Amino acid sequence: MLKDRVVAVTGAARGIGREVALLCAREGAAVVVNDFGGSASGEGGDSAPADEVVREIEQAGGSAVANMASISEPEGAESIIQDAVTKFGRIDAVVNNAGFLRDAIFHKMSISDWQAVVNVHLNGYFYVAKAAARYFREQESGSYVNFTSTSGLIGNVGQANYSAAKMGVVGLSNSIALDMQRYGVRSNCIAPFAWSRMTAGIPATTEAEKQRVERFKSMSADKVASLAAFLCADVSRDVTGQIFSVRKNEIFLFNRPLPIRSAHRGEGWTVESIASDLIPAFRASFHPLQKSAEVFPWDPI
């Protein structure tokens, strides 16, 4: 599916990113394996994990190059795309997957932890996408695969930074799809469920939390890779602006926020009439506050 194509995968040394990089290589793509080798909280740096994925791809007969740049800086993001063009002559798809967690209850979250997560999960995805955009425009083709999360799409406790960034990724991806459609470029989102370093930190003190962790352990990262590789391939050329989710062998299509109710008042609305008429009419359609685990309570199939 990806023969003669070049794919750049951020956060490609471990977890979902690693599985995406390996599968794209098996499908024939040359791969830029980007990972600065930080911890699950985004600290430190190590070239060994990315180098190991490159070795695995090359030993299987594929082509790959390691890149250790942090996508939180525009120069680092630019280097990923430049490595693709310099080493392999082109860039055909970008998989924005890099990220880490710094969880805390909203009112206890530090400014630095807010900025660090947003800088990678949202700003970084923009930087990498922008670096690839001029090549995509010139060749009038290209695909962006942007990883979001049900923490943003639905909600989760203690993840204001991550949830806000991941919901922002949806807006970014949709804007790219709209702005770049004239050049034959597509952009889609995937919200993955998978056991990885990031989900290994899920608290498990209550019985419900322990059951959730066990569900996650049954959902391996390689299950997500097939959809990502498909979205990178030319066969997905008519799929753009969509939000998918992968949960073991289940694939979901999410909708975008759209109007569900309306009310009109010829003379306009006052504070009083909103309280007396509008809210009672709308209340049955209000969505409840929910966490991702409450929307997906069944065992993964």
Alpha-carbon distance of 250 to 271, in angstroms, equals 45
Alpha-carbon distance of 236 to 93, in angstroms, equals 12
Rounded to 5 degrees, φ, ψ at 130 are: -65, -40
Residues 6+ apart with CB under 8 A from 21: 7, 9, 12, 31, 33, 53, 57, 64
DSSP 8-state code for residue 159:
B
Q: For residue 281, give the 3-state DSSP assignment.
A: helix
Alpha-carbon distance of 46 to 276, in angstroms, equals 60
Q: Which residue type does 152 have?
A: G
Q: Strand pairing of 250-254 and 243-247?
A: antiparallel
Instruction: Please state, in angstroms and as integers, the Cα–Cα distance from residue 289 to each residue in 152, 253, 286, following that order.
Output: 13, 21, 9
Neighbours of 165 (CB within 10 A): 26
Whether 135 is catalytic is: no
Catalytic residue among 127, 135, 144, 162: 162
Q: Which residues are catalytic?
A: 162
